[in-house]
Each structure stands twice: as structure tokens, then as C-alpha cells.
Structure 1
């Protein structure tokens, strides 16, 4: 039997993300080439829906499609679109979601998690959302166990993803859960996307070092960034800053938010990531350039920071690896 997926388009829906379920689920077929999913789009009351872009879309089906679906997907919308500032849904959206049968699988892509949370569907559950919206999400929905560092969360009946690309990963995960890896991998090939990224993998988040115009350790940080490939002991940092180790550590933490050792590791990970993304250097060379000493050291720290090994990270950004050291 074909699995019916209903995608809910709300006010200020993001067009790219709205199309993800139809594209990915539509690529899943059985051994004879028959479709395994039917994807329909619906809107509250049907009709025209504003998007986050400079156009609107016409949606033929209304919210009754939600009650007839096996899986309901709430597409990404601009955070100020479907919710009021206090995180409350309009009555018609809330009623439509509460009418979804309890056996129906419910999914959100990116900020669609705000809609599920506002409807009470994430209370007491683990969930994720786009990392840029994490603080607002926590403030509005303290009953949700938010993990903003992962690509998606599968909590059985309710599943949530981070950004739009993570929505692709989540759809492939659901296909894999429904029909196995062979079907999911074939769908990924048709969509020309990586067949598998673990949901527990970290979101790729830019984390630049904080800038402080009056930071007394700023010159030392600049000095250290030029020497990441060298040993950098705390005593060396403090000596450069012309402070005692205790004073330097206290001021550094106050200005940057982490200890000097933690900051050095963050910068070395960022340096390694940049080289993996932009160069064909062997992993061993990158490990030395970033100050980790060996490929094993780089692998350990990269895995701890973002949840993937060096070659897996390189493949994500640059295609086939240039070497075979993992």
C-alpha cells in the first residue's frame, strides 16, 4: 500500500524546504519502479499561501488532508509567520494539528518544530531545530528537550530536523526505516544527495572567536592563531600576555567564555575543517598543520566536535577524498 504524506504549508513557508518531501519521498520506488509514497500539499483553508520569497503559491487541498495522511510534515516557515510573538498558534492551525490521528507520524523540517511545539506535540520529547533559532525555541517552549547540535531527532512517532538540508537527511532516514537501506540509497542517488548522514552528527555551525574591543587577551589570541601548528602551553600564552597563569586564565574565560585549552582546540578544529574543505592535503599533513600532531589526534577531536571523521567530513564538502587515511 502506498504511504500517504501530507505536507502542511503555513504562512511564510520556505519554498525550497516545502518541496523536500515531494522530491525525496517521490524518489522512493519498489522493485518494479512503483511509487512507495504519495505526497500531497495542503494549507489551512486551501488557496493561496505567502512564502518567504517574493511570490505566493496556490495550494489545492485544505487541512482535511492531514487527517487522511500516514505521515504529516510541517514545512519550514519564517519563525514570525505561523506563530505569534508569544509562541501561540492561530486557532485554525492548532485545531488542524490536534485533529491528526494519534497513529499518524508527525514530522517537522527546520523551524516547523516551532509549530509542533506550540501545538504541544513536543512536550516532554527530545527535538531539534535550526541552531540560529535555538535560544528563542528554548525560551518559548521550556517543556521540550531541545538538542540544537544534531541534524535530526527520531523519537518514534514524532521526528524533527534542523535546517533544510537536514530535512533531506530526515526524509531518507524515514524511507530507510520504512523500507530498508537499499530503497533509501536508491532514492538518494536519484536526488543526487549523500545517502546517509547520521542524525546525531553535529550541525555545521560557524563559531568564530568572540571579538572584544577591550579584551586584554586579544593580542595573545591573535598570536596563538598564527602558531596553531606549534605546541601552545598555557604558560606560554600567559607569558605572551604578560600575566600570571591564574590571571590570564581568569581574564581569558571572562572574555571568550571558555578556557584557553578549550579555545585552542576549537581553533585547531576550525583550521582542520577549513583545510579539509578547501585543500587536497593528506589528513596526516592537515593534522600537523592544525596542531593535532597525528591523524589519530585529528580524528579524535573532529569526532568529538562535530561527530564525523576527517574523510567523511571532506566527502561531505568536496566529494571523493584525496587520500585513504581516516
Structure 2
């Protein structure tokens, strides 16, 4: 990026959620030239310059047109409203053309939360890895099959195109941009002022709800309930089939039809869901939780927890119970 002109353009559209706009305005629009000079110059843009009404009754002064995107160093696209995402509302073609022109000219293009749908509509995510809010990753994958959607991470950096996961993950990505542009020390200073971690461990997988899947086959409901009540046992497909009064082969087939997965993978998911619940709601030792969930040892639970959630069980507990991280011992 040109060190003498860190221009960040923010395209604002009607009914846009205020939260992601505020993230970009706070991080790039607040002058912190005492940390790095020059700081960023934020430009609020709209198809019709003047005032743009966003959610919650606010109207933003948007003095720049969309042509300002093509002269910016970075373009940050905030989130779309949930209604726009769910309805598949068409993105303004003028905005899509301005984004493509900005990218073709060499601008770094960034999306926060569901702003990824705008980048995808512009074709900027084709063949790339990207993310968005975990509630909408399946929709993004379905509508834009050429995008390699990663639902687990907080953000994805593809060099000239970057995407963040849901809501506060936009802060993580914006801090990453500062770290890239101005170095870790400046990013750390900004994080301290915002009273947020400079870098969060894990990804948004730790925030995804994991309810018990409901079987479409009512005949499997009793065996599913039985398995959930006996997660501490080392259950096998043969045991589940016997309880259901089916052959193992028939159980596997009907299980896949009802839940979309295999019995053992389903069991594994239920064990992790139980572990998450116990870590959130109890003070039981991790070793005991691993036994209750049928994961065996604490080490085994830790291994699978990191693979699935992205953080250790204790880090997860601290996140959801508000426990402080252990203090570091002073070195004499």
C-alpha cells in the first residue's frame, strides 16, 4: 500500500446494519496519527451521495459516490441486512461494477460478515477461500458454488481479497489489516484502546450452536435418545442396531437418510456437543468431562476439541464462563 495515502472506501447501502459500519469507522475513521502518520483516510460512499439511511433509524452522511471506490487503496464492504441475505435480494449492479473496477485497478477488497455475499456477486470470490457469518455459510456455498467457503475461521486473507466471519470477527480482520500495513505494535495498541484481544485463538467454530439433530425418520428417535443418554459408553454400530431392532447395514442406511451422516460421526458430534455444554455450564474437571462424554482421556478430548472447535477445552471454558487467562509467572 502507498504509505502516503491509506485511503479506505466504505460503500454504504440502504438498511445496512450499523454494527459493521461502526467497526470500520472506529478502526479506520478515528485519527490515530500518533501511532502511525499518516493514518487511514476513511471515505463513506453511496450510489446517491448525500445521506443514506441504515438500520435502527440512523442516517449516515455519505459525501462520496461509488466512483471513489476505484481510487481507494482498500475497499471495505460491511454486512448486508439479514432480510437481504435470506431473500437473495439483488445487489446494486453499479456497486458490483465499482468493486470489480477497484479490484482490477489494484485495490484491496475486504468484506465484513455478510458483506461476503456482495463480493461473491461481483465474482471476486470465485475460486477463492472465503468466510462469512456461520449462520449463512451454507447459503453462500449454495448460491456461489465456485467459492470455497470455510465456516470455521474468523477471517480469510487471500492477499487482495479478504473476508471476515460474523459480527465481531470484523474487528479481528480490521486489526489484521492494521497489523499487515503498520505492524504488530500498532495493531496491539489499537486493540488495547478498543479493549479487545489483538488476536483471538480459534475461529468462529467455537461460537456455532450445536443442537442435537432431529431425525427425519421417527423410527430412529428411540435409538438416538438412547445413545445420547449413554454417551459415556463406548457404543458401536452393532449395539445401536440391536437397540433399534435393525441390522447394522439397515441402520447405517436409515441413519444417513435421517441425519445425513453415519452413526459413528453422529455419536462423535454429540460427544463434542455434550463436552461444550459441560464446559460452559459446570466447573467439572476436563478429565471428568471427557469420561462423561465417552471421549476417554482429557488428552483425547483436547485433541478432538482443537480439531473441531479450534481451541482447547480450557480456552473454550474461559471464553464462555468469563474466566481470566492464567497469569504468567514473572521471570526473576
Residue 154 of structure 1 and its aligned partner are, at CA, apart by 0.5
Residue 108 of structure 1 and its aligned partner are, at CA, apart by 0.5
Contact 1:111–1:129 (8 Å) recurs in 2: yes
Cross-structure match for 1:100: 102
Distance in 1, matches of 2:144 and 2:188, equals 35
Residue 15 of structure 1 and its aligned partner are, at CA, apart by 0.6
Matching residue within 191, 195, 213 for 2:194: 191
- Mapping of residues 47-58 of structure 1, within 5 Å: 47-58=50-61
Residue by residue over 1:225-279, the C-alpha shift from the partner in whole angstroms, topping out at 9 and shown as x without a partner, is 1222232232322222222322222222221111111111101111111122223
Unaligned runs of 5+ in 2: 328-332
Distance in 1, matches of 2:86 and 2:224, equals 42
Residue 205 of structure 1 and its aligned partner are, at CA, apart by 1.9
Unaligned runs of 5+ in 1: none
Cross-structure match for 1:267: 270
Cross-structure match for 2:236: 233
Contact 2:201–2:311 (8 Å) recurs in 1: no
Matching residue within 312, 320, 324 for 2:323: 320
Residue by residue over 1:148-167, the C-alpha shift from the partner in whole angstroms, topping out at 9 and shown as x without a partner, is 33222110010011211221
Residue by residue over 1:129-161, the C-alpha shift from the partner in whole angstroms, topping out at 9 and shown as x without a partner, is 223333432343233232233222110010011
TM-score normalised by L of structure 2: 0.85
Residue by residue over 1:185-234, the C-alpha shift from the partner in whole angstroms, topping out at 9 and shown as x without a partner, is 22222212222135866363223233246421211111221222232232
Contact 1:249–1:260 (8 Å) recurs in 2: yes
Distance in 1, matches of 2:122 and 2:35, equals 40
Cross-structure match for 2:116: 113
Distance in 1, matches of 2:55 and 2:206, equals 23
Distance in 2, matches of 1:257 and 1:143, equals 23
Contact 2:154–2:169 (8 Å) recurs in 1: yes
3-state DSSP class of the match of 1:164?
A: coil
CA RMSD of aligned residues (A): 2.9
TM-score normalised by L of structure 1: 0.86
Residue 26 of structure 1 and its aligned partner are, at CA, apart by 5.6
Contact 1:209–1:256 (8 Å) recurs in 2: no
Distance in 2, matches of 1:148 and 1:61, equals 34
3-state DSSP class of the match of 1:19?
A: helix
- 2:224 corresponds to 1:221: yes
Higher percent of residues as helix:
2
